[in-house]
Structure formats: structure tokens, C-alpha cells
Structure 1
Amino acid sequence: MLFLFPGLEMFMRINGRARATTDEALLVRLSEGGKRPKTATVVAIDEVLFHCGKAINRAGLCRTDRQVDRAALPTPGRMVEALDAAAQGRAADAAAAGQLDAHYARAVRYDLYG
């Protein structure tokens, strides 16, 4: 796992093993904003390393003027629909992509803990 800290000139790497869990007791403890998560990631940490952030600073990852223009990339819905269509050997459906985008847009704003 890699953790970036905007504004700090370092990043943290955790090496270990992770697993998904639906353990009810753990999920209750992880509740936030009155919502219980559906799953959790449990990480068995072998080592934690801090790295100099020179490469991140050179890349300008935290600089808004260096971010990719969203219009230059397909939307999440278009990407998922294109992958699904290719896997099924059919043409991508623009309406399905639009529905996926609408679902995603709502989820990232209103379903943060659900």
C-alpha cells in the first residue's frame, strides 16, 4: 500500500498482506457517520517504510496545474461499459455508460459511508 500526503515531502509504503472481511464486529467498530461499511480491508503489516518525496515533487502530483484535463479521458462509466462490452463481444452502449456515470457521481458525493 502506498500513502501519499499532499503538502508533505514524503510518502509511506506498507508491505504486508491484505484481505477483505465482512466480520460484523469489526464493521460495527468501523462505522462512521452512522453508517456501517459493507466490507473492510485488514492488513497484516510486515514493514513500514518512509520515502523521500523527490519523485512525487518532480511529477507535480499535488499541483492542480499539472492535473490531467478530465475532458481528455473517458468517464468512469464509459471505461467500465467499454470493458464490459468488449468482454461480451458487443458494442458499447452510451446509455449504459451514462447510467454508470450517474450512479458513480451520486455515490462519491452521498454514499461515502454506505
Structure 2
Amino acid sequence: MSEVRLKPEHLIGDEATLRGLFPATHDLAIKKCLDHLDEHASSFVSRAPFLCIGTQAGPAQADVSPRGDPAGFVKVLNTKTLLIPDRPGNNRLDTLANILANPTVGLLFMVPGFDETLRVNGTAQITQDPDILNMMSVQGRVPRVAIVVSVNEVFLHCAKAFRRASLWDPEARQNRKEMPSLMKMILDQSTGAPENPAEMAELEAGLETDYKASMY
């Protein structure tokens, strides 16, 4: 890939300059922002099997992490509070550690077949309260901790991005086999993948076995 050198005279360094490049915000885009979860937002959350959570520990450490479960896995405790279970993962704990350093979070809820999304901004805490965790048990397994989000801002996001991406369009689906397996790519990026196809296949099968054993 060729190197791109950014020209300082074309860099945007302040908000006034940035906003001068765009038309004024539509009045409805401002009015649609709520400070709580109304009936429509709560219904959207109850339908969503997937969300992305954005966190930040400092100026040089930001992260976006996916969270997924059967629809309704995020609990609407009340109009100002959401509960998100923390399921088993790779134990990097990026999201949780960031929340301890900086409680500000941004959530993006997605529903398969919906081109619209729901955005929720607020602050988060981490709890190990058994009364809360037992509410989110799946297959008899209780999460170690849960993320409690205090809601500050809620708004529905229009369909343009998903329609441009044709995200739910079956005709836009790509063939997963056109890229190597996750195990192969990670090994290439770290210790090096084995050249023996049988050994590689065994490692890939092991990952699938781990998925089945450690989802909850």
C-alpha cells in the first residue's frame, strides 16, 4: 500500500470549521433526542439480539466491542437504566477495564431486518450483585458481572448507513470461504500457522468445539 501524507493545510482542527462544511442540523434531528427510554426505545431494545458498546479509557485508548445473545438479553430495568450481561469471551476485558477508567459509554442496538438502529449514550458501572446476575442466567449459567448503564441520551438512527451497505440483503452476502478461517488469520498474525493442512483443520475444529462449550 502506498503511503498517504496528510497536508496540514487541509486538516480540520476545530468544530467551527467542521460545521461550516455542512448544512445546519435538521430541527427534527435535535428534537428526537430523549434523556430516557420511551416505549419505542424500550421495544427496540427488547427486540435487539446484538449491540456494539463503545468505551474509552483515555485519549489514546478507545474500543468498540460486540455483544450478542437472544433478543431481549439487555434488560430495561426502568426508563433510565439498562442491564447488559457480560458473557464469556477472550478475557481481555477491554470494555470492563475502560469503564473503570472512564464510565462514559455509547451503545448501538441492531435488529436483524431493521435498517434503523437505536443509539444510547450514558455512563456505566460494573456489578456482581447476584440478584441482578440471576436475572440474566442462560442455560443455568450466570454471568460473572453485568454492565449497568445509566441513560443520558437516546435516539433512533435513520436507515441510510444500512441501506448503503445492503447489510441485510441476501444478495449482498459474501462468501466466507474467500478469506482464511479466524484461527488461520490469528496464527498468521502471531505465532505462525502450521503448514500441514491436517494440523490446521484440527486447530479450527478445536475452536468450534470451544465455541460450543463456552458460549455461556
- Normalised TM-score (structure 2): 0.41
How far off is 1:51 after superposition? 0.8
Partner of 1:102: 205
Q: Please report the RMSD computed on the Cα atoms of aligned residues, expressed in angstroms.
A: 2.7
**Does the CA-based 8 Å contact 1:5-1:11 persist in structure 2?**
yes
Distance 1:102 1:41, change over 3 A: farther
Letter in 1 for 2:122: G
Q: How many residues align?
A: 106
Distance 1:61 1:32, change over 3 A: same
1:92 correspondence with 2:193:
yes
Q: Secondary structure of the equivalent of 1:6?
A: coil
1:52 correspondence with 2:153:
no
Q: How does 1:33-52 map to 2 (within 5 A)?
A: 33-52=139-158
How far off is 1:72 after superposition? 1.3
Partner of 2:48: none
Letter in 2 for 1:83: Q
Computing the radius of gyration from Cα coordinates, the structure with the larger value is: 2
**Does the CA-based 8 Å contact 1:12-1:48 persist in structure 2?**
yes
Q: Choose between structure 1 and 2 for higher RCO, CA contacts under 8 A separated by at least 6 residues.
A: 1
How far off is 1:20 after superposition? 5.2
C-alpha distance in structure 1 between counterparts of 2:187 and 2:201, whole Å: 6
Letter in 2 for 1:12: L
C-alpha distance in structure 1 between counterparts of 2:207 and 2:126, whole Å: 22
Letter in 2 for 1:47: E
1:77 correspondence with 2:180:
no
Query: Identity percentage over the alignment?
Result: 29
